[in-house]
Structure 1
Amino acid sequence: MSARPPKSLKIYFDGGARPNPGPFEVAVVARGVVHFFDDLGEGSNGDAEWLALLKALEVAHALGVQAFDLLGDSRSIIAQATGTAPCRTQAEREQLTRFTTLAAAAAPRRIRWIPRAQNLAGIALAGRRR
């Protein structure tokens, strides 16, 4: 009888810039806890989504989980991070390098796109703005 693989923790991430470009806002949700990150600089929404993905990976590492999935609503960032789309700018290539380096310690089982309405981190960011 073989052991079952550990259940994978779902970690949601979202980032944005208000206005675009503007100050970054990032949220990560893991185990029902919302982590907000401020004072991360300024740039575009795409830059903010990359930061959100990196912060999600950092949260997973801080929690010490072995099996985790990263879920976000930015198709382009997820495609770049998974290698299904090229990083077209130097900034995107640098973010991918940062992600790959950080993931070397403990990589996500999957990085998956979900609709905005299902992204708990995006919902948390929207609620914070009200």
Structure 2
Amino acid sequence: MINRVVLVGRLVKDPELRYTPSGVAVATFTLAVNRTFTNGEGEREADFINIVAWRQLAELCANYLKKGSQAGLEGRLQTRSYDNKEGKRVYVTEVVADNVQFLSPTGERRENSSASSNDRGYDFGYNNPPQNDRRAIDIQDDDLPF
């Protein structure tokens, strides 16, 4: 079976970073992805896709992405359900990110970002990140391989 999703879009708001009770980082955000066609009035529509990133990738997304940032990502589609406060079943479809590329120039990212400033995207994705790494992320220009 194949379950792969590749998206490029812009964040509609800043990522929300939380930690599970066991200390695992999880970031959630919504990516607006333009459709390839226009509607009957000639306007281009977009799909708003919920994204979830875990562990170190979650912390990187929270530190380097903000509302309006352009990002490319690869992941898998996941559907889950839960019962809300009224007892109704709610179904959620989201993309669990395995790899995220930050496509916006550094000036469009958070002010404290220390990545090199140019128009190329930087791939900070991890396929198998450390399970319990909750250290603060401090990346200097000298630490980057490019």
TM-score (norm 1): 0.32
Higher relative contact order (CA 8 A, sep 6+): 1
The structure in which a higher percent of residues are strand is: 2
TM-score (norm 2): 0.29
The structure in which a higher percent of residues are helix is: 1
Greater C-alpha radius of gyration: 2
